[in-house]
Amino acid sequence: MRLQDRVCLITGGAAGIGKATALRFAEEGATVIICDLAEESGQQVAEQSNGKFYRVNVADRQEVQAWVDQVVNEYGRIDVLVNNAGVLRDGLFVKVKDGELVKQMSEADWDLVIDVNLKGTFNCAQAVSPIMINQGGGVILNATSIVGLDGNFGQTNYVATKAGVIGMTKVWARELGRHNIRVNAVAPGFTLTEMVRQMPEKILENMVSHTPLGRMGEPVDIANAYLFLASDEASFISGVVLRVDGAIVVGT
């Protein structure tokens, strides 16, 4: 019961890694509060984790602040924030054929991914930080990715956000450490979420072939990393990017 009686917020908690983290934290005694835009599945996860669900768009600063205020009013504190919410809008940065521009990443796809993955992480962390400072400490965990470290073909927007999250993690670890707030990031490799399972078999096989451990990660593999970093076992770990990737080799 490593998170007994701790109030833990998880963004993007309705599916995938967020869902696995909510369930895993609940097993360890946490009071789990998730947010997402998917209401039906979010409510189901809340019931499974004996927690609570809120519909929140993390890119909307006012919605985030209202959510945090409600949680504090009800529970009196926030011990852990897992910034898991994220979206993908993959596409080539630019494609030229026979000297003519034929395709490029749209401004809309750039803006959406930046707003959710980067600004959303900023919004949530900034909303909970004063609470954690006043209560004497806390833990902020940010979802980055191996592509934020290594880059990846066709993911300019996503990579930019995940590299940015790494940078913010290191800044916040320095700024908030004096307040006993630990800030770390987890960088998953190829992980078998519901969305990934729907990909063509050939693509899945390619992912496995690039992973030396010979399999893709399961959402609970990532959840276990979050659990460790949230627990007192990681009390002297801050400013770290933990790769959970099966020793993956990212290629084009």
pLDDT score at 251: 62
- 217-228: average pLDDT: 97
- Reference 141, options 252, 27, 39, 30; nearest CA is 30
- 68-75: average pLDDT: 98
Q: Which residue has the higher pLDDT, 39 or 249?
A: 39
Angle (CA) 34-132-182 rounded to 5° is 90
Contacts of 3 (CB under 8 A, 6+ apart): 25, 28, 29, 30, 79, 80, 227, 230, 231
State pLDDT tens for residues 9-57.
Answer: 999 999 999 999 999 999 999 999 999 999 999 999 999 999 999 999 9
Could you tell me which residues are beta bridge partners of residue 191?
A: 217
Q: What distance in Å separates the CA atoms of residue 18 and residue 194, rounded to the nearest whole number?
A: 12
Residue written as token pair 């004497």: 136
In this predicted structure, the answer to whether residue 123 has a pLDDT above a threshold of 90 is yes
In this predicted structure, the answer to whether residue 252 has a pLDDT above a threshold of 60 is no
pLDDT score at 72: 98
**To the nearest whole number, what is the mean pLDDT of the chain?**
96
- 75-84: average pLDDT: 98
What is the token pair recorded at 179? 């307040």
Contacts of 230 (CB under 8 A, 6+ apart): 2, 3, 6, 8, 25, 80, 82, 139, 141
CATH of domain 7-244: 3.40.50.720
What residue type is assigned to position 35 of the chain?
A: C
- The DSSP bridge pattern shows strands 94-97 and 181-188 to be unpaired
- Reference 177, options 120, 138, 126; nearest CA is 138
pLDDT score at 198: 84
- 65-90: average pLDDT: 97
- 62-83: average pLDDT: 98
pLDDT score at 196: 84
pLDDT score at 68: 98
pLDDT score at 249: 78
Nearest 10 degrees: Cα torsion 53, 27, 227, 232 = 110
What residue type is assigned to position 220 of the chain?
A: V
Could you write out the DSSP letters of every residue in 72-130? HHHHS---EEEE-------B-SEEEETTEEEEE--HHHHHHHIIIIIIHHHHHHHHHHH
- 242-249: average pLDDT: 93
State pLDDT tens for residues 160-211.
Answer: 999 999 999 999 999 999 999 999 999 999 999 887 888 889 989 988 999 9
Contacts of 127 (CB under 8 A, 6+ apart): 64, 65, 67, 68
Does residue 158 have an active-site annotation? yes
| In the chain, where the domains are located | 7-244
Q: What distance in Å separates the CA atoms of residue 9 and residue 132, rounded to the nearest whole number?
A: 12
